[in-house]
Each structure stands twice: as C-alpha cells, then as structure tokens.
Amino acid sequence: MVAKRPFASDDQLLAAADEVWSGLSTDEKRESFEHHPRIGEKLSAAAQNDKALAFAEREQARVKLASSSVHDQMSLINRAYEQKFGFIYIVSAAGKEGHELLDIARKRLRNDAATEIQIATEEQRKITRLRLEAMIGAKPA
C-alpha cells in the first residue's frame, strides 16, 4: 500500500486495498486471520496494536450483550470451526448480535474447506475495508 501512494481519493485508496488483498496468497490471507480475536474473546493469536484491539472491540460490541448461553455456544463453535478448518472463524461482526454470529458460524461449519476459505477471505476483506473507511472518515459503502 505504501508503494501505491499517494492516492488521489478515498475511492482510490479502497480500490488499492482490494487489489493488494486479492494479490495475496491463501497462506498470507490465512496469516492475517491470526491478528483477530475469536468472536467473543479479546485476544488474538498474534500480537495486535492498540488501534487493532480497539477496532475489534467495537466490531464485536454487540457480542458482549449476548447471554451467557450464547457465549458458551460461541466458544464451542469457535473450537469446532478451528478444528475443522485450521483457522479461526472470521466474520465481519460489525453491527451483528451474538446470536446472529452464532447462526452464521453454524451454517459455515457445513462448508467444505475450499468454500470456507473463500468466504473467510471475503469476510477479512470486508473487515479491512470497514477499518480503512473508519480511519479516513469515509462512509461505509
């Protein structure tokens, strides 16, 4: 992204981010997942800076409001998902309730590995875009 600067507009910045993301290998995309906390948790497998932690906390804010039953089920789903696919459950959580994220995870557990990596990488792209929009003060598309 640094090499692509300067950007003439916010749209150019966002398009460049999508271009860079699409050019990454599957392994590089999977590595990015490690920088996210599991849904319902605060810490990620890889170190995060304060800004990333704050983004994750805001994105998962509605999960905190969920019942203890939803939290318990999410913990079980997180483990089952990781066991099946080998990476954490990545979903753009912004604006979603805990029960919604749980339902999405249950449905995605039915996917085969090839389908799920495509879905997970698209969810990561959405998360990145939302965070970039927040940083530049753009309204989400």
Tens of pLDDT, residues 87-98: 999 999 888 998
pLDDT > 90? residue 42: no
pLDDT one-digit tens code per residue, 76-124: 999 999 999 999 999 998 889 989 999 999 999 999 999 999 999 999 9
* 65 located within any domain: yes
What is the chain's mean pLDDT, rounded? 87
* 19 located within any domain: yes
Q: What pLDDT, on a 0 to 100 scale, did the predictor assign at position 56? A: 64
The answer to whether the bond into 140 is cis (omega within 30° of 0) is: no
Tell me which residue range forms the domain holding 49.
Answer: 2-136
> How far is the C-alpha of 27 from the C-alpha of 69, rounded, in Å?
34
Report percent pLDDT > 90 for the chain: 60
pLDDT one-digit tens code per residue, 18-39: 999 999 999 999 998 988 888 8
Contact indicator for 108, 82 with CB cutoff of 8 Å? no
* 46 located within any domain: yes
- pTM attached to this predicted model: 0.83
Q: How many domains does the chain have?
A: 1
Q: What pLDDT, on a 0 to 100 scale, did the predictor assign at position 37? A: 82
| CATH code: domain of residue 48 | 1.10.3330.10
* 99 located within any domain: yes
Contact indicator for 78, 38 with CB cutoff of 8 Å? yes
Burial label for 93, CB within 10 Å (0-12, 13-18, 19+), is buried
* 141 located within any domain: no
pLDDT > 70? residue 55: no
Count of C-beta atoms within a 10 Å radius of residue 122:
14
What pLDDT band is residue 49 in, cutting at 50, 70 and 90? Answer: low
